[in-house]
Amino acid sequence: SEYDRPLDPPAGCSSLRALFSRNNVQLEVEQEQEVKDSFAAVRIHGLYVQRGSLGSFGINLAPMPRDHSQFPLNFMFSEPVLVAGLSPMGAAAADGRIKVGDRIARVNGQWILCQSHLSYLLSELDKEAALDIVVTRHEPLPPPPQGLDGLSDTEIETLAFDHAGVRLRIAEDSWSREQALDVLTARFADAASAAATASASSAATSTSSKGPGKSCLKREGQPPRQTGRVVVTDADPEELDTWTKAEYDRQLSPPPGCQSLRALFRRNNVLMENEQEKEVEQSVASVRLHGVRIVRGKHDGYGVELEKIPDQHEYAPDLMYSELVRISALNDGAVKASGELQCGDRVVKINGQFILCRSHAVYVLEACANDAEMEFVVTRHEELPPAPPGLEDLDDATLETMAFHHAGTTLKIDQDAGGWSRRQVLDLLKGRFANEDEEC
């Protein structure tokens, strides 16, 4: 009942789970905004990649190093993700347009928030017939095509995906032509600053242009459009085909248990979070935990800096979707003053919530920065300690204290009031001590 215990004070939410759910939604909003802002001034490429008869898309991922020359300096909560490699037998390599080093911005209309997020999406979508993948190579915005206002609706729809990564349909009940042109205008360099670039670009593309205003629709060195690409029609959109003005809220056909694309992504995010929590919990099943309660007191903050553990698979070989996070520095603040935590401690929980990745941990710290106290559960990957003598005979208050110190769980033994029973707490604690038979 850990997540479902009543809050005191309630902080606008009836339970800890409700508070975490609200924080996760707010975190996602912050992450999406960071990601969107990071693409405002760079060229993006919308790519429709078909799987065909190949077994998978075969895209290997890696987080962008923080010392990378293109790393967005204002990133706090999200994590840029790069293409680290392409499987020779995968659809992405066969398509030829995705390159090692490309940063992935969106997949099927969803902004990519971190590596674990993208890994989960690709694993869920790996057997789909095709994917919309939006990437950037951090090139400057291109100059606008000549005669943009004179292009046909179909050409504007194609350009909107190629340059903005947005699937749209210009129709009476969808996007207006003006709205689509506004989206496109933001994806080209300002005419004044791009004058020199535009003159050079027009000379380079004039040989492939079939008429005025079409020079940007074909690019040298790029494979021809596949005939099976998305076709925009007035019919109900297929699941992987088109987004309208209400991009995430469109009806799915057929609906895979969700009414809209946004509902599908929300469900996938919940499923991924469950997988991450399960991974993190399993990764500390056989190591000592330390529950520490820090009171902020007169200090301005807690002063904790965090980083992803680079060699995390040495501690958790089966990790797929989550990241291990450790304390990288302790600045002046309540944590340093307490002396109970140290650099190198791996953070497992903050205020009762399992830490799923670095951006998640940073957000929770930011959200709780002004709280009067904060609960940390850390591990130093020590072996489980032996059980104390007479565990069964300890009083309730002692068991409650031990449950936090050894299992990182804040609880109250009071079964009549909906709390934990004494038996449940003893079972929890026995899982946090070494088995005496194994010790022998």
Q: Report which of 246, 185, 163, 46 is spatially closest to residue 177, judged by C-alpha positions.
A: 185
- pTM score of the predicted model: 0.52
Report the chain's terminal Cα–Cα distance, integer Å: 34
Q: Mean per-residue pLDDT for 193-199?
A: 41
Q: Would strands 353-354 and 373-383 be described as parallel, antiparallel, or unpaired?
A: unpaired
Contact call for residues 420 and 411 (beta carbons, < 8 A) = yes
Highest average pLDDT, of 113-117, 120-124, 130-134, 235-239, comes from: 130-134
3 state SS of 169: coil
Which pLDDT does position 172 carry in this prediction?
81
The arithmetic mean of pLDDT across residues 10-38, rounded, is: 71
Whole-number average pLDDT of the chain? 78
- The larger pLDDT score, comparing residue 2 to residue 215, is at 2
Rg (CA), the chain: 26
Give the span between the Cα atoms of 422 and 428, in whole angstroms: 10
Phi-psi region of 290 (alpha: psi -120 to 50; beta: other; left: phi over 0): beta
- CA dist., res. 42 & res. 156, Å (int): 20
CA distances 421 to 4, 352, 396, 416, Å, are: 15, 19, 10, 9
- Pairwise CA distance, residues 88 & 98, whole Å: 12
pLDDT in tens, 326-384: 999 999 999 999 999 999 999 999 988 899 888 888 888 888 888 899 999 999 999 99
Among 101, 6, 94, which residue's Cα sits nearest to residue 50?
A: 94
CA distance 168 to 161: 8
Residue 322 identity: S
| DSSP H/E element including 27 | helix 16-38
Q: What crossing angle do the helices spanning 358-367 and 16-38 adopt, rounded to 10°?
A: 110
- Which of 61-75, 147-161, 222-236, 321-335 shows the lowest mean pLDDT across its residues? 222-236
Give the separation between CA 35 and CA 86, rounded to whole angstroms: 24
* CA geometry: angle 77, 80, 83, nearest 5 deg: 155
Query: What are the strands, taking DSSP E only, across 40-90?
Result: 42-50, 59-63, 81-86
Residue 377 is given by DSSP the state E
Identity at 207, one-letter amino acid code: T
Q: How confident is the model at residue 395 (pLDDT cuts 50, 70, 90)?
A: very high
DSSP for 142-161, please give it. Answer: PPPPTTGGGS-HHHHHHHHH
Peptide bond into 9 cis (omega under 30): yes
Residue 84 binned pLDDT confidence (cut-offs 50, 70, 90): very high
Weakest-pLDDT range from 59-73, 95-109, 134-148: 59-73
Highest mean pLDDT among 85-94, 411-420, 427-436: 85-94
Q: CA-to-CA distance for 225 and 231, rounded, in angstroms? A: 12
Each residue's pLDDT tens digit, 33-44: 888 888 888 999
Residue 236 has pLDDT above 70, yes or no: no
CA distance 59 to 83: 7
pLDDT, tens digit, for every residue of 64-78? Answer: 887 777 766 667 778
Q: Is the link from the previous residue into 140 a cis peptide, with omega within 30 of 0?
A: no
Contact 356, 273 (CB under 8 A): yes
Neighbouring-strand partners of residue 11: none
| Per-residue DSSP letter, 411 | -
**Residue 155 above 80 pLDDT?**
yes
Polymer length in residues for the chain:
440
pLDDT of residue 339: 95
